[in-house]
Amino acid sequence: MNRQDRLEAVAMTEYDWAYSLVDSSRVSTFLISILLIVYGSFRSLNIDQEERERKEREEDRDNLLPTPPSGQNAAGQPGTENGVVIDTSQAMFLPIGASVSLLVMFFFFDSMQMVFAVCTAVLATVAFAFLLLPMCQYLMRPCSTGTKISFGICGRFTSAEIMSFCLSVMLVFMWVMTGHWLLMDALAMGLCVTMIAFVRLPSLKVSTLLLTGLLIYDVFWVFFSTYIFNANVMVRVATRPADNPVGVIARRLDLPNVAKDAPKLSLPGKLIFPSMHSAGHFSMLGLGDIVMPGLLLCFVLRYDNWKRQTAEPALPPAMIPHGSLAQKVTYFHCSLIGYFVGLLTATVSSEVYKNAQPALLYLVPFTLLPLVIMAYLKGDLKRMWHEPFIKTKSNNPYQEV
């Protein structure tokens, strides 16, 4: 090898991290994670809209003014049918609960992997049915009136809901029988969209507490768990495959051929995209790195929508002139750009340091800090910090805005 060839080889090695950014696995991770957050956020907004329209129809039918429970409203707050709202105490203790769950899976995975696999399959079935529901509603619209069919104690469901559930069951069955990574990714996508759509952050204060706690949680279990447990607990749990329930049952029934063919299952707690250019190389992103920033983006999307509907003045007056380009940038767009930059930074760091990186270490600052700065400049920080969707008219009554 001559001197010129050696210099080119050194240059290629130094910039391997840059070439890896345009690898198919990296590009797929970027696109899918952003699409999941956007889609889940708009599904959440659509659920709110459908709930408001349903209440308006009931109001017109009954000629009565609805009175929400004390301290709550119909825009996705506690006590509504729209979803689960995380309060301050839950935001503070959620990282602790996540740490306990992680330790349980680390120490007792072998003895409880059957339980983990079955519970994951059930949750993934429901979540993927929710993901498929709009498509099924579109397909069933010409031949269905939307009438709900009763299934006794199970409840009443439309034909579109039944169709989406059946398709979801088929997909989970195929995943159990094949263990294919693409089917696992599809189920993980359903879990992401469902959590973003149904779990609500009521204020910027709760969002900050939750994301800051999870940032510390992510950093500790990725960087420091090795010094305590002699293993990277986060990576070990995320990549450990579980025994196939079909294989376990086949061994119990003494069916060696069936047990032999049953593949190990990689649980859909992450998204995995193999590289098309480098055999054996893949990109992995945990669901928490999509869902938790996604909850913040869902909150700011709902706030943008609420602000457009109410058109209330900023408190205090905005520092950015009204009508300027910066004033036209929505909080959702600001946070979405921050998420992309944070994910790009995390990817570069993992390639430079050649080891797993806590993605929330980069995602949280790049999504939260620009949002806080923009809210301050626009004069919305005080309102966003507290619960902006609840407005008091008198002592107790609340009005939906």
Mean pLDDT of the chain: 82
Reported as a pLDDT band with limits 50, 70 and 90, residue 282 is confident
Alpha carbon dihedral 46, 52, 55, 57, in 10-degree steps, equals: -80
The phi, psi pair for 330, rounded to 5°, reads -80, 160
Q: With CA atoms as reference, report the closest residue to 303 among 385, 362, 221.
A: 385
Stretch 181-209: mean pLDDT: 94
- Other beta carbons within 10 angstroms of residue 398's beta carbon come to 21
Residues whose CB is less than 8 angstroms from the CB of residue 189 and which lie 6 or more positions away in sequence, other chains included: 32, 36, 128, 131, 271
Catalytic position from the list 218, 243, 261, 380: 218
User: For residues 361 and 281, what is the distance between their CA atoms, to the nearest angstrom?
Assistant: 23
End-to-end CA gap in the chain: 72
| Whether the predicted pLDDT of 401 surpasses 50 | no
The phi, psi pair for 49, rounded to 5°, reads -65, -45
Q: Active-site residue 87, yes or no?
A: no
Residue with the bigger pLDDT between 65 and 80: it is 65
| Whether the predicted pLDDT of 204 surpasses 60 | yes
Burial class (CB in 10 A: 0-12, 13-18, 19+), 324: exposed
For the whole model, what pTM was predicted? 0.84
| Whether the predicted pLDDT of 67 surpasses 70 | no
Reported as a pLDDT band with limits 50, 70 and 90, residue 235 is confident
pLDDT at 63: 63
pLDDT tens digits along 300-335: 999 999 888 886 666 666 666 666 666 778 899 999
User: For residues 363 and 336, what is the distance between their CA atoms, to the nearest angstrom?
Assistant: 10
User: For residues 365 and 215, what is the distance between their CA atoms, to the nearest angstrom?
Assistant: 9
Report the range out of 287-291, 376-380, 394-398 with the highest average pLDDT.
287-291
Amino acid at 27: V
How many Å separate Cα 240 from the centre of its chain? Answer: 21
Q: Active-site residue 23, yes or no?
A: no
Catalytic position from the list 48, 243, 289, 380: 289
Token pair belonging to 343:
């994910």
